[in-house]
């Protein structure tokens, strides 16, 4: 019997390998009585020398049965020498130039002896062995899954599996023109959305929608803000909606600073279950509610996070395998019920290995066959079959989810294979949520290895708080008809129906309504910064967009550049023009200061500038000598806090005598000069001089 040598690991250096790597590009996910087995393999020459012609041998062990998850993992990682004496076939591989790849396909007929000798269904070890020249063979362990089809075995109940995916994105773009239209209250621009997904994202969704239409058992949980942004003909059927903007509840709980979110413009009402239902109803033009699920964010579902989710109206959450750190001998139903101070909440926990593979990741860095989609799919089918076989008569419901960025192609491959797996019964989220829970408790046994990093979240919140504060400062301290704190606190903090708050704008000549529109736009943008899949770069982009927005608001009141001023006497006037592009009058201070103590200006002037207009103020210049200096003219609100641009104006003084006192001074100077000359010519010299 042939013992399988260890494979070259993905994390080994090239010097430690034979120089060639193997990747499975396609393989038959489920072997039936009539399917045969087909596999396409890519062999890459990573060395600097040409690899001579060789061969690829495919072998298995028709009678082998895996007895534990550990055995399967060790085989995947090449850490166990399971014999694979049953050769499925071999194929010649041509010589491969340095850096090139050779692709070969091996077709195994259904009546091939090794396939025919399989008398039990389930996962089998599959060994790929590539030999070229005198180098040791390069090995790649994978899996082959035989279905019960055509075998004389007892039929056992199928295991329940729920497959879900989040429909959301972080590919939002902010329309600066639409924001400028809000600031100026331009009726032509007000209908444009402030936030939208780019065209490429729309194309991706169309491809995804075609896939979803073929797989009705896939449970789609949609971000309602994203869902309503999609064209109506690309909106898929959904099993439920998640928190708006895919808001990261786990990071919110980990930060434990609700006031920081409020200051940034993110109110609890913006992402609760009621808001999710409202947004979905608007998109679908329906009053029929759908289920709501809080999808896990960047951290773990702590008890605090679950309590907050429940308080926000969510009765069920989707969790990854970190939710329960307990390692059991066999897999169990992933339904939990947690008692929180806000009420009971159902947790649907994803099965670890299946979830990792569905997310497009290998179960470990050493499981080299899982570096490709086909390799991951082979492991996924084998793993699911093993789970059914380990307790064939136990009722269990497992959960597997796709990631937020899973491609339509990958989803189609997985769902097509799962739908053909006779040992699986694909169920919906409602069925899983209603299953007998594995655990009912008031505690959470979580794996903290994936705890949320809140440092970037805190920094982003501070940036958003600063930009929102500037918009509020316009309302309370710059507008002529300033709003007091009570007026500001009564403003609607969130747009209810759409993320493009521009649609809520109304031209009522009411500054309070206008400021509310500006805050809506800021807050809608801010909410998108804290999606569960957002990274530091994405959060920074969102914060920067709102910073630019706030700067545009305050920058709409500005000092018009002026020409240099020449002064020919002890005093003069310096005019300063202030422009206001806002649709409402403003009342501001204009301050001026120079770099010189001999050439100075008056310090401050108050001015009211009508809407979409300009006004002029005059500063008095006083000089005591000739010279040049720069006057720095700036704006401040009514509390004398600076904002906007600073205008520098050059002042040149050419001092001229313009009154009698000047001539007296000159005459006295001439007299002193004459006296000095007289003394020079009439003094007596010393003898030694």
End-to-end CA distance of the chain: 128
pLDDT at residue number 16: 38
| Rounded average pLDDT over 117-134 | 96
Give pLDDT tens digits for 574-601. 999 999 999 999 999 999 999 999 999 9
Q: Is the pLDDT of residue 119 over 60?
A: yes
Enter the tokens of residue 596: 């010189």
**What letter does residue 477 receive in the DSSP assignment?**
I
Q: Is the pLDDT of residue 360 over 60?
A: yes
Q: Is the pLDDT of residue 6 over 90?
A: no
User: What confidence category does residue 503 fall into, taking pLDDT thresholds of 50, 70 and 90?
Assistant: very low
Kindly report which listed range (200-204, 309-313, 475-479, 579-583) carries the lowest average pLDDT score: 200-204
Per-residue burial over 666-684, b = 16 or more CB atoms within 10 Å of its CB, e = otherwise: eeeeeeeeeeeeeeeeeee
pLDDT at residue number 186: 74
pLDDT at residue number 32: 96
* Residues ≥6 apart with Cβ < 8 Å to 672: none
Q: Compute how many other C-beta atoms are within 10 angstroms of the C-beta atom of residue 481.
A: 12
596 vs 188: CA distance, rounded Å: 48
Give pLDDT tens digits for 21-71. 999 999 999 999 999 999 999 999 999 999 999 999 999 999 999 999 999
Q: Is the pLDDT of residue 109 over 90?
A: yes
pLDDT at residue number 656: 60
Handedness of CA 454, 459, 462, 468 (dihedral sign): negative
pLDDT at residue number 9: 36
164 vs 317: CA distance, rounded Å: 12
Q: Do 14-155 and 197-447 fold alike per CATH? A: no
CA angle in degrees (0–180, nearest 5) for 615-617-619: 165
Q: Is the pLDDT of residue 323 over 90?
A: yes
Task: Give the pTM.
Answer: 0.87
Q: Is the pLDDT higher at 658 or at 341?
A: 341
171 vs 156: CA distance, rounded Å: 45
DSSP 462-476: HHHHHHHHHHHHIII
DSSP 380-442: HHHHHHHHHHHSTTS--EEEEE--TT--HHHHHHHHHHHHH-TTEEEE-HHHHHTSPPSEEES
Q: Is the pLDDT higher at 202 or at 497?
A: 202
Kindly report which listed range (23-37, 230-244, 260-274, 668-682) carries the lowest average pLDDT score: 668-682
| Rounded average pLDDT over 545-559 | 96
Strand partners, 58: 89, 128
Domain boundaries, the chain: 14-155, 197-447, 558-653
549 vs 563: CA distance, rounded Å: 30
Q: Is the pLDDT higher at 539 or at 6?
A: 539
Q: Compute how many other C-beta atoms are within 10 angstroms of the C-beta atom of residue 515.
A: 22
Please give the sequence-ordered ranges of beta strands (E in DSSP) within 253-334, or none if there are none: 294-295, 316-319
Q: Is the pLDDT of residue 660 over 60?
A: no
The sheet with strand 54-60 has its strands ordered as 86-93, 54-60, 122-132, 138-146
Q: Are the C-beta atoms of residues 552 and 571 closer than 8 Å to each other?
A: no
Q: Is the pLDDT of residue 663 over 80?
A: no
User: What confidence category does residue 17 fall into, taking pLDDT thresholds of 50, 70 and 90?
Assistant: very low
Q: Is the pLDDT of residue 190 over 60?
A: no
User: What confidence category does residue 493 fall into, taking pLDDT thresholds of 50, 70 and 90?
Assistant: low
223 vs 243: CA distance, rounded Å: 6
| Rounded average pLDDT over 59-88 | 96
What is the chain's mean pLDDT, rounded?
Answer: 90
37 vs 29: CA distance, rounded Å: 9
User: What confidence category does residue 135 fall into, taking pLDDT thresholds of 50, 70 and 90?
Assistant: confident
CATH number of 558-653: 2.60.40.1710
239 vs 222: CA distance, rounded Å: 8
29 vs 410: CA distance, rounded Å: 13
Q: Specify the fold of 14-155.
A: Immunoglobulin-like (2.60.40)
526 vs 548: CA distance, rounded Å: 13
Q: Is the pLDDT of residue 332 over 80?
A: yes
Enter the tokens of residue 270: 């913006």
CA angle in degrees (0–180, nearest 5) for 262-266-268: 85
Any idea of the CA torsion for 438, 444, 449, 450, to the nearest 10 degrees?
90
439 vs 422: CA distance, rounded Å: 28
pLDDT at residue number 329: 85
| Rounded average pLDDT over 392-408 | 96
Q: Compute how many other C-beta atoms are within 10 angstroms of the C-beta atom of residue 68.
A: 12
DSSP 224-241: HHHHHHS-GGGPPP-SEE
* Residues ≥6 apart with Cβ < 8 Å to 289: 277, 281
Q: Which of 469, 467, 520 is nearest to 492 (CA)?
A: 520
Q: Is the pLDDT of residue 86 over 70?
A: yes
The share of the chain scoring above pLDDT 70, in percent, equals: 89
Q: Which of 362, 353, 367, 365 is nearest to 78 (CA)?
A: 367
Residue 370 φ then ψ, to 5°: -85, 10
Enter the tokens of residue 553: 């608001």
Give pLDDT tens digits for 241-260. 999 999 999 999 999 999 99
Q: Is the pLDDT of residue 15 over 50?
A: no
Length of the chain: 689
pLDDT at residue number 280: 95
The share of the chain scoring above pLDDT 90, in percent, equals: 76
| Rounded average pLDDT over 184-208 | 77
204 vs 185: CA distance, rounded Å: 34
Residue labelled with tokens 């720069």: 630
140 vs 532: CA distance, rounded Å: 35
Q: Specify the fold of 197-447.
A: 7-stranded beta/alpha barrel (3.20.110)
pLDDT at residue number 548: 96
Q: Compute how many other C-beta atoms are within 10 angstroms of the C-beta atom of residue 508.
A: 9
Collapsing DSSP to helix, strand or coil, 120 comes out as: coil
Q: Is the pLDDT of residue 204 over 90?
A: no
Q: Is the pLDDT of residue 608 over 80?
A: yes
Q: Are the C-beta atoms of residues 131 and 54 closer than 8 Å to each other?
A: yes
Alpha-carbon distances, residue 506 vs 191, 223, 494 (angstroms):
11, 27, 15
Q: Is the pLDDT of residue 536 over 80?
A: yes
Q: Is the pLDDT of residue 494 over 70?
A: no
Q: Are the C-beta atoms of residues 72 and 45 closer than 8 Å to each other?
A: no
Q: Are the C-beta atoms of residues 436 and 281 closer than 8 Å to each other?
A: no
Collapsing DSSP to helix, strand or coil, 44 comes out as: strand
User: What confidence category does residue 505 fall into, taking pLDDT thresholds of 50, 70 and 90?
Assistant: very low
């Amino acid at each position: 019997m042939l013992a399988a040598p260890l494979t070259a690991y993905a994390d080994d250096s090239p010097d430690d390998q034979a120089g060639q790597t193997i990747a499975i590009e396609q393989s038959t996910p489920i072997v039936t009585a009539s399917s045969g087995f087909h596999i396409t393999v890519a062999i890459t020459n990573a060395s600097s020398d040409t690899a001579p012609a060789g061969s690829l041998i495919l072998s298995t062990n028709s009678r082998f049965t895996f007895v534990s998850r550990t055995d399967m993992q060790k085989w995947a990682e090449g850490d166990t020498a399971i014999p694979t004496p049953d050769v499925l076939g071999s194929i010649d591989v041509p010589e491969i130039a340095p850096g090139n790849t050779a692709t070969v396909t091996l077709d195994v007929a259904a009546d091939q002896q090794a396939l025919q000798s399989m008398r039990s269904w389930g996962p089998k070890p599959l060994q790929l062995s590539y030999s070229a020249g005198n180098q040791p063979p390069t090995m790649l362990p994978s899996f082959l899954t035989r279905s019960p089809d055509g075998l004389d075995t007892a039929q056992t109940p199928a295991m329940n599996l729920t497959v879900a995916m989040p429909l959301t994105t972080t590919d939002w773009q902010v329309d600066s023109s639409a924001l400028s239209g809000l600031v100026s209250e331009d009726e032509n621009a007000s209908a444009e959305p402030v936030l939208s997904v780019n065209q490429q994202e729309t194309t991706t969704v169309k491809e995804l929608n075609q896939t979803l239409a073929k797989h009705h058992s896939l449970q789609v949980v949609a971000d309602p803000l994203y869902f309503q942004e999609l064209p109506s003909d690309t909106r898929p059927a959904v099993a439920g909606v998640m928190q708006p903007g895919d808001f990261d509840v786990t990071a919110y709980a980990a930060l434990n600073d609700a006031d920081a979110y409020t200051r940034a413009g993110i109110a609890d009402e913006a992402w609760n279950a009621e808001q999710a239902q409202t947004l979905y109803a608007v998109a679908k033009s329906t009053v029929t509610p759908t289920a709501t699920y809080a999808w896990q964010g960047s951290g773990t579902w702590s008890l605090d996070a679950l309590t907050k989710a429940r308080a926000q109206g969510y009765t069920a959450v989707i969790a990854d395998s970190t939710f329960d750190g307990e390692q059991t001998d066999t897999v169990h139903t992933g339904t939990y019920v947690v008692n929180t101070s806000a009420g009971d909440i159902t947790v649907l926990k994803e099965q670890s290995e299946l979830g990792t593979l569905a997310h497009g990741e290998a179960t470990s860095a050493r499981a080299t066959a899982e570096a490709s989609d086909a390799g991951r799919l082979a492991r996924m089918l084998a793993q699911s079959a093993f789970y059914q076989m380990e307790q064939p008569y136990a009722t269990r419901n497992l959960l597997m989810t796709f990631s937020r960025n899973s491609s339509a192609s990958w989803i189609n491959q997985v769902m097509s294979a799962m739908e053909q797996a006779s040992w699986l019964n694909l169920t919906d989220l409602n069925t899983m949520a209603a299953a007998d829970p594995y655990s009912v408790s008031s505690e959470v046994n979580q794996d903290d290895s994936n705890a949320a990093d809140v440092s970037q979240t805190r920094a982003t919140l501070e940036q958003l708080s600063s930009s929102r504060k500037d918009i509020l400062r316009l309302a309370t301290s710059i507008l002529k008809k300033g709003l007091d704190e009570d007026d500001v606190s009564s403003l609607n903090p969130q747009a209810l129906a759409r993320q493009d708050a521009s649609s809520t704008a109304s031209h009522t000549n009411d500054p309070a309504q206008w400021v509310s529109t500006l805050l809506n736009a800021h807050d809608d943008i801010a909410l998108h910064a804290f999606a569960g899949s957002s990274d530091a770069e994405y959060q920074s982009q969102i914060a920067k967009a709102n910073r630019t927005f706030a700067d545009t608001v305050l920058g709409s009141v500005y000092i018009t550049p002026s020409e240099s001023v020449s002064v020919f006497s002890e005093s003069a006037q310096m005019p300063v023009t202030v422009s206001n592009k806002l649709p409402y009058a403003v009342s501001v201070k204009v301050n001026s200061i120079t770099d010189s103590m001999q050439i100075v200006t008056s310090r401050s002037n108050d001015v009211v500038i009508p809407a979409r207009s300009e006004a002029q103020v005059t500063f008095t210049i006083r000089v005591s000598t000739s010279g040049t200096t720069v006057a720095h003219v700036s704006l401040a609100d009514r509390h004398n806090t600076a904002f906007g641009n600073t205008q520098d104006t050059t002042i040149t003084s050419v001092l001229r005598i313009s009154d009698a006192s000047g001539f007296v001074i000159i005459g006295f100077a001439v007299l002193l000069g004459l006296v000095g000359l007289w003394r020079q010519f009439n003094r007596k010299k010393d003898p030694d001089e």
